Amino acid sequence: MGWVFSLRSGLSQSLRVSLPEPQGSLAEALLLGIRSHIPDLLLTDFAKTGTRHIIAISGLHISIVAGILLSVGVWLFGRRRSLYLLLPFIAIWVYATLTGMRPSALRAAIMASIFLLAEFSGRQRSTGTALTFAAAVMVGINPQVLWDVSFQLSFLAMMGLIFLAPPFQTWGRRRVGVVVGKGQIASATNVVIDSFAITLGAILATMPIIAYNFHLISLVALPATFFALPALPGAIITTFLAGVIGIFAPPVAWVLGWVAWLFLSYMILVVKGFAALPFASIQISTISATMVWSYYIVLTIGFWLYASRRH
């Protein structure tokens, strides 16, 4: 653990040297989960635009790290032996520890481990099963985590992706097929539809918890996330390279820092632009737990009726 936190400190210092502010503090949040250095005004803009989940270490961050190292493992060991799965397995747990083992990172690490285990054993992968198992493990270790807001948001967002996003994707693709038919235009439009569906599913699943805890509802969360999210993989990869190389060769990290600066600056520009709109968010004085439960009951019944009709 001492080595891990020493590495965390070294990466943090490397990013601060390689990048100006506020891009440097945003890079720390994206890569290491350190949000204490982000300016308060920028954090407020992330909250107003409903994009604060982007700077929380989550499944997307873990999947990027696992995907890169899975490719490296295949290149080094090939697929004949299972050693190519060992490298990403170790890496995701080192990375989760590096980011402070926050609930969202721990949940993502458990789910990624189950997917790697399924690949190793030749079994089918089930996102719902992996999510349920991750929740069981985390609650079994610490039952108080049920009242942790980040735990609630992380699992509800995943449930939105699993259960709510597919119906939106199906409906959107059907409408696109009716309007433009098949072909390259339909394929390109479907990518946009899928992105909106995934974002909308996560927003609908987490909106009451955000309103209950932070007394805020963002009206621009869908377009803001849609435009900011494409820059996230590039930002994570370039900040990771700049942080690691900066420990050994700071001049080389400065060059990579300029590339990372482009992705980070774009994200900040999108967030600030949508936050500046007069209708970006609505402040809520209070919301009762009964209202939150009622929302999820209605949402569950609606999904059940949709699934039953489709079946």
CA 14 → CA 7, 40, 234, distances in Å?
10, 22, 18
Q: What is the pLDDT of residue 137?
A: 92
pLDDT digits (tens, 9 = 90+) for 271-285: 999 988 888 888 887
Q: What is the pLDDT of residue 81?
A: 65
User: 302: pLDDT confidence band, cut at 50, 70 and 90?
Assistant: confident
Neighbours of 211 (CB within 10 A): 19
- H helix intervals, 145-231: 149-159, 165-180, 184-214, 221-228
pTM of the model: 0.80
pLDDT digits (tens, 9 = 90+) for 106-137: 888 898 888 888 888 878 778 888 889 999 99
| Ordered DSSP codes for 115-143 | HHHHHHHTPPP-HHHHHHHHHHHHHHH-G
pLDDT digits (tens, 9 = 90+) for 158-167: 888 888 888 8
What's the chain's average pLDDT? 83
- Distance from C-alpha of 90 to C-alpha of 48, rounded to nearest angstrom: 36
- Among residues 29, 49, 41, the alpha carbon closest in space to that of 271 is found at 49
pLDDT over 70 at 310, yes or no? no
Q: Beta strand pairing status for 281-283 and 216-218?
A: antiparallel
pLDDT digits (tens, 9 = 90+) for 234-249: 888 888 888 888 888 7
